[in-house]
Amino acid sequence: MTNTPTPPTNLPSNDPRQRRREQRGWYLYDWANQVFWTSVVTVFLGPYLAELARAAAQGSPSGEHVYLLGLAIHYNAVWPLATALAPAIQIPLLPVVGAIADRSRTKKRLLLGFATVGASATTCLYLASGDNYLLAVGLFLVANVSYGAALVVYNAFLPEIATADERDRVSSTGWAFAYLGGVVLLLVHLALVLNAEALGVGEGHAVRIAFASAGLWWLGFTLLAVRPLRNRVAPAATADRPASVGATFRQLWHTLRELRRYPQTLLYLCAYLLFNDGIQATIRFAGPYATGEQDLGLDMDDLITTVVMIQFVAFAGAWLTGRLATVLGTKRTLVAILVCWTLILTSGYFLPAGQALPFMALGFCIGLVLGGSQALARSLFSQLIPRGKEGEYFGLYTICDRAGTLTAALVGFVAVQLTGGYRAAIFSLVAFFIVGGVLLVLANLRRGVQQAGNPVPAHL
C-alpha cells in the first residue's frame, strides 16, 4: 500500500518561528508597494497630470478643456476621471483574481506577476511629458489595476500566516511598515524636487524620475518579499488539476450566492465600501486640492513635506491603533476612528488658501487615523471569511474598495467639473464616513465570525 503525501493546508503553521518568518516577508510587500500610493497617487501624479492636461487644453476654445469622445473635460477633472476609470476596470476583474488565487497552487507567482506589471507601468510614467496626458492616464490605469490585483492575492495570505488572535497585530504592523517604506522614498523625492535646478533638471523632469524610482522600488522589494512566503493548497484547489477559467467563474458565482448565508459579513462589506471610499478619495484628492490654483494654492514642497509627516504619523498611528484595539475592542476602535475622520474632513473644507500651516495640521490629524482605520478594517474582514475562501472573499473585499472608489471619484469628478476646484469634492466625502459608520455600528460582528465558522477573538 502506497502512502499518499498529505498536501499542505491553508492553515497557519504551528511553528511560531515559521509564522514570524512569513509575516516578515508579508510586511516587506507592504513596504514595497506603498510607494506607488504615497509618491505616485497621493503626491505627484494628480498635479502632474493636471499640468499635462492644461498644456493640452491651451489649444481649446476655452483654454481650460480637453476633449474626450466629444466631451469637454476641465483639465483639473482629468485626474478624478482617471481614478473613476480604474475601479470600473477592476470591479469585474478582481473577484476573478481572488477565485484564481484560491484554486492556484502558485499564489506566490501570482503576487509577483501582478506586482511586476504594476511596477513596470509605474516606471514607464517617466515617458509621459509635454501634453501627453493620455499616455499618463493609460499607464496609471495599468499600474492601478495591477496594484489592486496584487493586493487581492497579498491579503489572501493573511489568514494563512497569522492565527485569529494575531491578525490585528500582523495587519497593523503591515500597514506600519507600509507607511515607513512610503516615507523613506518620499524623502528622497522631496530632496530631488527641492534641488531640481541645482541638479540640472526641471521640476517636471524630477517628478518623472520620481515615477521611475517608485516603480523600481516596488519591484525590487517585491522580489525579496515573496521569498519567505509558502504556497499552500486550499480546499478550493485540487492536487491533480489546475484551475480553469470556467471553474473560476463558477466558483465566483457560487461565492456571490453564498454570501447571502453570511448577512453580517455582507453588512460589514457595505459599511467598508462607504467609509473606505472616503479614505481613498481623501488620499487621491489631497495633492490637487493642496496645489490647485482654485483651491489652497500651496507649493509642491509644502505638499511633499505634509505627506512625509503623514507617513511618520501614520506609522505610529497604525501601531498604536493595533494596541488600542486590544483594550477597547476592534469594532469600537474603528467606529471612533470614523468619527474622527468626519470631524477632520469637515474642518478641511474651511482651510484658508495660501497658508501651509493649517494644511499641515490637518495632515497630522489624518496621519493619526489613516493607517489604523485601514489595518483594523482588513483584520476585521479576515475574521468574517469562511476557511478556504480567503482569495475569493478578499476579491470581493477589494471590489467593495474599488466600487466605493468609483462612487467617490465620480462625485469628485462632477464637483471639479462644475467648480473647477476640489474644495466641494473634499466636503462631499463626509457623507461616506457617516453612513459607513452607521452600518458598522449595526453589524453584529461577533455573530458574523461565528457564522463563518471561525473562533471569536477575545478583543473583537
Burial pattern 147-156, b for ≥16 Cβ within 10 A else e, equals bbbbbbbbbb
Mean pLDDT of 9-29: 78
Mean pLDDT of 157-166: 78
pLDDT at 3: 41
Q: Are 120 and 207 in contact (CB under 8 A)?
A: no
pLDDT above 60 (res 228): yes
More confidently predicted of 237 and 399: 399
pLDDT above 80 (res 124): yes
Across 113-122, 347-356, 399-408, the highest mean pLDDT is recorded for 113-122
**Taking phi first (over 0 means left), then psi (-120 to 50 degrees means alpha), and beta for anything else, what does residue 388 get?**
left
CA-CA distances (angstroms) from residue 16 to 23, 177, 219, 358? 10, 21, 28, 46
- Encode pLDDT of 383-431 as tens digits: 888 877 766 777 677 667 666 667 777 888 888 888 877 888 888 889 8
Distance CA 137, CA 118 (A): 14
Least confident of 83-97, 236-250, 367-381, 383-397: 236-250
Task: Measure the CA angle with vertex 264, ends 102 and 435; round to 5°.
Answer: 110
Distance CA 299, CA 290 (A): 8
pLDDT above 60 (res 7): no
Mean pLDDT of 432-441: 93
pLDDT above 50 (res 1): no
Distance CA 283, CA 193 (A): 20
CA-CA distances (angstroms) from residue 214 to 35, 140, 144, 270, 420? 6, 13, 13, 33, 30
Distance CA 321, CA 225 (A): 25
pLDDT at 248: 59
pLDDT at 406: 75
What domains lie within the chain, and their CATH numbers? 16-244+261-451 (1.20.1250.20)
pLDDT at 242: 45
pLDDT at 6: 39
Residue closest to 454 by CA, chosen among 393, 395, 396? 393
Q: How many Cα atoms occupy the beta-carbon half-sphere of 432 within 13 Å?
A: 28
User: What is the average pLDDT value for the chain, to the nearest integer?
Assistant: 83
pLDDT above 50 (res 157): yes
Mean pLDDT of 335-340: 93
How far apart, in Å, do the first and last CA atoms of the chain sit?
Answer: 48
DSSP-assigned states of every residue in 70-109:
TEEEEGGGHHHHHHHHHHHHHHHHHHHHHHHHHH-S-HHH
More confidently predicted of 432 and 96: 432
Percentage above 70 pLDDT, the chain: 89
pLDDT at 315: 74
Distance CA 151, CA 218 (A): 13
pTM, whole model, 2 decimals?
0.74
- Write phi, then psi, for 53 (nearest 5 degrees): -70, -35
Radius of gyration of the chain from its Cα atoms, rounded to whole angstroms? 22
